[in-house]
Structure 1
């Protein structure tokens, strides 16, 4: 374990390890511990342990196969669907991190308390031996795989630390319970760590606990303080791993960890590894990935467990009213775009063919290479025009994808918000076309107290033809299910909070047939709608799962990972360029029965965006399947078990006898008060209790399939 100057991830890569396969003949009469072991775990696992201890001699000498000494020193190892001979001559703990338990390390445990799926079993076998990226469609058991891998490292390294990182606090809270229910790692050894926990309290928890569920920001803060024992981390699980690009907190954590040690196993989980092949390569490099396990819905071993998801694309015309608004808005855009054209900083093309991306690119080109005939004292004016153009093109995108109500709310925010638009606001108010458009939109969408006339209450109006189509799709769905006395749930995705609010208000008109609730993220800064706290998010998900609501309208916060229950209909109100977003949304349905996905896309540009996203998704999968030619993997895969030693699998029924108890982080002052109260009543638990040794702990776990009892 080396601590020193930080190197780039690629610089830290070493030579690829020699493959442990051998061309020696496979011995056919070796016992396969993975076959036929489902129940009676007490006797079976005791027998398995006894045989495994005879399979390998303790002094690293000859091998015993089936009770007979053999001169070939070869045993048959089965991992996944593959069997191959492995030499056990001179078995030692070379190149293995300290703390490896040689008794527990003879086996790896696979649970049968859940249905045994071949693809999960095969992936776990690989993930124990290599830094692995697991790419599975949503709902097919990535968390299960993580729980099994974490459990085995918890067994193999009795003094080591196992870390599970998730991007949000609600996801952390969800995953800690899910992992416990799968493998039953004792809660006494498990901690959920958040930023609200005092640093001194987290320092204590890092010492006392062994399995940690947290956000990357928490561990990064503790690594920088020196309170996280980095050298003791033996397994690092990264959920929603596609986020590990650029300077994301995931990348920072891995970069910081390898300053101290490279001796930890990485398991990365994601429904899709990246938006394009460059992003996939970034993720592989940043997370030290040396192997990918990719399954798609077309994979033969996945099909028995995935239900059909019917994807229906509905192309909605812009309509006469929205086309009229668009025409007026383009006239406003023309003023700013023509200024930039006269300065020679953008190409001479039609105003509607530009986008935010093209304007950003043109501004970057201008900053790096300004036109030679442009006077320097005009640079500030050009920068102001670029800023105005970016704001206007964002509004143009809102108009086409989300409608005139979203456009009005955005422009009204520029005029009356506290974002400090300054020059943008002044320039817009000087434009008579802009004032005319705002008067038109204000009359239609402004609250009654903001309208010049309050003589009559306006009925709820929609801002985009997609709203009427969405309303129709949702009502048809519920009427169909209700006629069959079925219970069903619907989830609607929209990129912007204004649209979420509008969709929610429209569907509320159909209560009690449609019991709708919005679901948005925590951030409130600069947003017109106040965000949900973590507590509010968890409550909404719980109510949705339990039937309090049957329709959830969500921003991107509902896309990734969170358990929102069984959903039969997904409606995507907008299309996104990134295939990641599309895959995450589609994964919310079709988990336990057939699901339907409706894509609402506006005719024209949004339809092109959707088609491009579909193409990108297929090209990424194709590139990964041909990864030997297109992707570069981490070569210095850490040896977490001794050389030429592959643990054998034992399938066993894990009994989780205690119900998971959610923990609530207490502040240091509260902990002190509690300690003082308990002490005064003579009920304070004994401190510094002697814990089970690593081998005792491992043997107890692997002899009865039940939770170990701590003193």
Structure 2
């Protein structure tokens, strides 16, 4: 065992150095606990068989290393006994609850396996350290599994280790190869559990485990359980949930632990210039949608009310049931028309929500894209209205597209000007104090544009960008896992005070305390806003500003807020409206009811193990920093 680790026996021994640690426990109980913990550790080394340790199972342990929060204690207790979905706003201790559950199952089942799944590798790397810091499971009993670990090495780790941190994709692969001993898994923690819909890897893991054993506990964690009631039911069914613990910022037992957060909605009209661009762009759209409408494949309606999703649905309907008057080669032509309309409507959404420059970058990618874009390119280049519009945008942003913003700066959307004002005002107000700002936008091109705009104020605003790993075409490239973690570290440590992020910054990663959150777009799902809001108000009062384009984006935001209230009302007011999993296993033998024992846990220091072939931490971030 590492010199920095204490055994469970030694951890308990620390209580004698802290007389106030458990003032409500008498000496008899202390003696029983001392023996139980000692026997649990002995059985860990001596018991080759899989099973429950009755000596360890007399108690369940709750740490007093941290200030006691009653809601965390009660949720932990409930999660020990049934498969539980925990819905807590970001920053209120979901990982703490997971650590308590994992630690107790680690004690109760000395030969069992404990699994913590998170959707991304950076989250996995963060959670293994966080869980160790709460309950101090010996680091030599834990393993972080990634797809880059050789399959044979993972098989050996599954055999020799007990607590695993990994992405669900890795877990699916190891279950399919029989590397993971499914029958030995006793506890599964699922982070960002709202993703468990459809055939997501989370669903595949639980399905495969339940095919091999019924004796495992599930703890699902999320800031909000789903985008609508139907999605919540999917999560419940797919993860075998039998009980829900939901708290909002307004819950009485949570209110004392949440700092006040103000939420401001700013609705920005398009302005005359942007409105003119939209009108001209709609003329291009009309040419292509009218051909589909004439063939009765699209309903004739106001072009402004169409969405990309509606056109995708119309294309699926055409594929399933093509009209008899459309035969042979003509079907290929119509497929091309649908493809053009879908691309053009994506551009229209960019123009409405993000501005002219984001549309320009999108079209640039079409023109320089793969062979699959040839028909779209050719059709657009044959449109005089479109080409006039494109050349005008090219002239406007030619300098900016080479990385040098024009002077005077051209705001390609009135929302950008409002964002500029909000951020500058914040830093001027907080001039005497250290403060940080986080800005969210769904599109990478928009993230890049916002960062370039704010970099004009280098005396006040030190800005960097943050994006996911995937890269597509010749657009803005993604960040590797190492780069993501380095960006987070430098922002948290104060190297930069403004982070402009895509949705990758919403989920889970410990960004640190942020005083201002700016949402530069609206999403239909309430999940996204809830996660973004959770980035502020953790240690002091926070502020959230949502900047919306007048019209469709504003309506989308209002609907999202309505959905969020509806979901919480359904769960809090009438849990019977959901169909819960009826066979949540009793993991403890009949007649065994462990009693709560609060104790101080000595965690030791988490040692970052060197990764073979890892580059120096002094990475070059020219493409990250603006």
Q: Would the TM-score normalized by the shorter structure come out above 0.5?
A: yes
Q: Pick from 74, 84, 99: which aligns with 1:122? A: 74
Any gaps of 5 or more consecutive residues in structure 1?
1-36, 56-96, 668-711
Per-residue CA deviations over 1:395-441 (Å, capped at 9, x if unaligned) read 00000000000000111111122362121111111111111110110
How far did 1:207 drift? 1.2
Matched, 1:517 2:450: no
Residue 290 of structure 2 is matched in structure 1 by 338
Q: Establish whether residue 588 from structure 1 lines up as the match of residue 566 from structure 2.
A: no
Other structure's SS at 1:518 match: strand
Give the distance between the partners of 2:71 and 2:400, measured in 1 at CA: 59
Match of 1:577 in 2: 524
Residue deviations 1:341-400 (CA, integer Å, cap 9, x gap): 101111121111111111112112222233344445422222111111100000000000
2:278 and 2:351 in contact (8 A); partners too: yes
Match of 1:663 in 2: 609
Structure 2 gaps of 5+ residues are 1-17, 37-48, 614-626
Which residue pairs with 1:140 in the alignment? 92
| Deviations 1:469-500, CA, capped at 9 Å, x for gaps | 10110010000011xx2111000000001111
What secondary structure does 1:289 align onto? coil
- Could you tell me which of 538, 544, 549 is aligned with 2:491? 544
Range with bigger deviation, 468-477 or 371-380:
371-380
Cα gap change, 1:200 to 1:449, in 2 (>3 Å): closer
Distance 1:466 1:635, change over 3 A: same
Q: TM-score of the superposition, structure 2-length normalised?
A: 0.90
C-alpha distance in structure 2 between counterparts of 1:193 and 1:131, whole Å: 24
Q: Which runs of 4+ in 1 moved over 6 A?
A: 52-55, 448-451
Structure 1 pair 40/176, CA: closer, same or farther in 2 (3 Å)? same
SS at 1:597 equivalent: strand
Instruction: Determine if contact 2:82/2:585 at 8 Å carries over to the other structure.
Output: yes
Determine the C-alpha separation between the residues in 1 that align with 2:95 and 2:231. 23
* CA 1:38–1:106: 2 relative to 1, 3 Å: farther
Residues 529-568 of structure 1 mapped to structure 2, 5 A cutoff = 529-568=476-515
Quote the Cα distance in structure 2 between the aligned partners of 1:40 and 1:380.
74
Q: Is the 8 A contact 2:365 2:473 kept in 1?
A: no
Distance (whole Å) between structure 1 residues aligned to residue 102 and residue 563 of structure 2: 33
Label 1:184 to 1:382 Cα distance change in 2 as closer, same or farther (>3 A). Answer: same
The corresponding residue for 2:202 is 250
Rate the CA distance shift 1:448–1:519 in 2: closer, same or farther, 3 A.
Answer: closer
Any conservation in 2 of the 1:38–1:652 contact (CA below 8 Å)?
A: no
Query: Partners of 2:23 and 2:51 in 1: how far apart?
Result: 26
Is residue 2:408 matched to residue 1:462? no
User: 1:225 is matched with which residue?
Assistant: 177
Q: How does 1:349-364 map to 2 (within 5 A)?
A: 349-364=301-316
Label 1:362 to 1:479 Cα distance change in 2 as closer, same or farther (>3 A): same
Which residue of 112, 124, 136 maps to 1:172? Answer: 124
User: Using a 3 Å threshold, how does the CA distance of structure 1 residues 411 and 153 change in structure 2: closer, same or farther?
Assistant: same
Partners of 2:490 and 2:402 lie apart in 1 by 35
Kept in 2: contact 1:39–1:653 (CA 8 A):
no
Residues 1:505 and 2:457 are matched in the alignment:
no
The one-character-per-residue Cα deviations of 1:490-514 (angstroms, maximum 9, x if unpaired) are 0000000111111111111111211
Match of 2:157 among 183, 197, 205: 205
Partners of 2:169 and 2:374 lie apart in 1 by: 34
Equivalent-residue separation in structure 1 for 2:469 and 2:528 (angstroms): 19
CA contact (8 A) 1:419 1:526 kept: no
Counterpart CA distance in 1 for 2:508 and 2:304 is: 37
Measured after TM superposition, the shift of residue 625 of structure 1 is 2.0
Partners of 1:515 and 1:549 within 8 A in 2: yes
Distance 2:322 2:99 in 1: 55
Give the structure 2 partner of residue 697 of structure 1: none
Q: Aligned equivalents of 2:471 and 2:315: distance in 1?
A: 29
